Chains A and B, each alone.
Chain A
Amino acid sequence: MGEDNKSIVLESNKNASKTLIEGRVQLPFKKAVEMSYANLKIRFWRSIITSAGVMLGIAFLVSVLSSSSILNALKGGEDVVGEAQQIWIVGMSLLVCTVGITNSLLMSVTERFREIGTMKCLGALDRHIVELFLLEATFQGFIGALIGALVGLLSTMLMFMFKYGFGVVLSRLPVLELFKSVLFAVITGTVLSIAAGVYPAYHAAKMQPAEAMRTEV
């Protein structure tokens, strides 16, 4: 049937250097989105845990950033925390959040190397694998980071409100700076998730399928 047509094409191309192939494999974007969404939904708890890792890291980062800007606003002008010290604290919290996020995403990808190898046996291109994991990591990272940033911000604000009074804190709230911190943290969280989620997937996709399928983590 279809077999015969295929063979005819093969035959006619016989001498053109690369011949076996009469078409291209593909993965329509819509299907890729469906697949990664289904994957997140089915591995619901796994996805939640991964996102929670991102969320905690970002919540921590935002609370460090926002408490230093709220504190500065409250004490008006006079530097409460030395600049060097502040850079150090922010640097440390960035590091902690990077490690946390990278760890969650790395885990969620490395446990799927066999799946990646299998998909390649079924005709997936490296690019398709990267695309699927990119979609998943972006989604998980963005949601986790957004929730984390809001949790971090609200808890810090509440903490200051209890300590200094609602009115005082609200009236001196450095809105623009807080907004910037949240934005910075959401972007950081998303970018880190993508880097940590896609790099190992890309690495596995580049392996020979036999090797990827053998890798046990």
Chain B
Amino acid sequence: MSYEMTVQTRGVRKEYVMGTVTVEALKGVDIEIKRGEYISIMGPSGSGKSTLFNMIGGLDKPTEGNVFIDEVDVAQLDAYELAWLRCRKIGYIFQTFNLIPVMTALENVTLPMVFAGLSTDEYIEKGIRLLETVGLGERVTHKPTELSGGQQQRVAIARAFANDPAIILADEPTGNLDLKTGKEIISLLKRMNSEQGVTVISATHDLKMLDVSDRIVWIRDGRIERLEDRANIKLEVGVVEGEDH
């Protein structure tokens, strides 16, 4: 009954024009992402991961090509529909956390639910529950500045899950975290992915992500270099480790 493909891109190109210089950040990207998949987008710095993240999430417009979410062309949506898409269908996680600095953890988590039209009682209760899920039940009234990086990212994850989105988009969610905290964040995402069937799409150059991914999209210089699924990954990681020791 639901679509098999939750995200599809067709020939997505993105150019940034700066004065006389034009940078082609994406040079025609086609990917299809299945419902419930955990996808990692890997690639060197400047390869276009964040640009692709913005295109898929409806946070910026492709210069050419189309992005479909559940078979609906994002470019066809009006302002209300786009806001609804961002509010209800997609949860965003950023490398820099992007919490609203003057709001408490709870207020940050409940904001998307305010926009979604939940009642105060509903969103407070759900907000607390979400913060408990990410292990921050004791930190509800803390401001972002009173939280560690890992804690802030967990608030951001709780916020991303606020309206039970179908898709979680994460742009280097572990980029600003230490090894251990990064691992915790990854397994938290993986848990949400397997328990709730949420599609997770994560741009990263964190190799720890390989372990939990169903598929990996390797991107280089604005193009998809290759796609790999889990079976191969396991093998390859094994080989690499074998070579190392």
Contact = CB atoms under 8 A, between A and B. Distances in A.
Interface stretch (A67-75, A117-125, A173-181): A117-125
A209 B59 contact: yes
Nearest to B198: A3
B88 interface: yes
Contact of A20 (B89, B111, B196): B89
A123 B85 CA distance: 8
A8 B72 CA distance: 15
A28 B70 CA distance: 29
Interface of B: 1-2, 54, 57, 59-61, 69-72, 76-81, 83-89, 92, 94, 98-102, 111-112, 114-117, 159, 163-164, 166, 196-197
Given A20-B69, A118-B98, A122-B112, A209 B60 contact: yes
Interface in A102-158: 114-115, 118-126, 128
Nearest to B97: A118
Nearest to A120: B86
A213 B72 contact: no
A24 B78 CA distance: 12
Given A14-B71, A25-B83, A123-B87, 8 more contacts: A10-B70, A17-B76, A18-B77, A19-B70, A25-B115, A27-B115, A118-B100, A122-B87
A123 B116 contact: yes
A2 interface: yes
Contact of A1 (B60, B79, B101, B164): B164
B59 A27 contact: no
Q: What secondary structure prevails in chain A residues at the interface with B?
A: helix
Given A7-B2, A208-B60, A213 B98 contact: yes
A28 B79 CA distance: 18
Given A208-B61, A210-B54, A26 B115 contact: yes
Contacts of B77: 18, 20-21
Contacts of A119: 100, 111
A38 interface: yes
Contacts of A43: 102
Interface size class of A (residues with CB under 8 A): 35 or more
Nearest to A213: B98
A114 B98 contact: yes
20 contacts: A2-B164, A3-B196, A7-B2, A10-B70, A20-B84, A20-B85, A20-B89, A24-B80, A24-B84, A25-B115, A26-B115, A28-B114, A115-B101, A118-B100, A123-B83, A123-B86, A123-B88, A123-B116, A209-B86, A213-B59
Nearest to A18: B81
A120 B78 CA distance: 14
A7 B1 contact: yes
Contacts of A3: 164, 166, 196-197
A26 B116 CA distance: 6
Contact of B1 (A8, A27, A125): A8
Contacts of B92: 121-122
Nearest to A28: B114
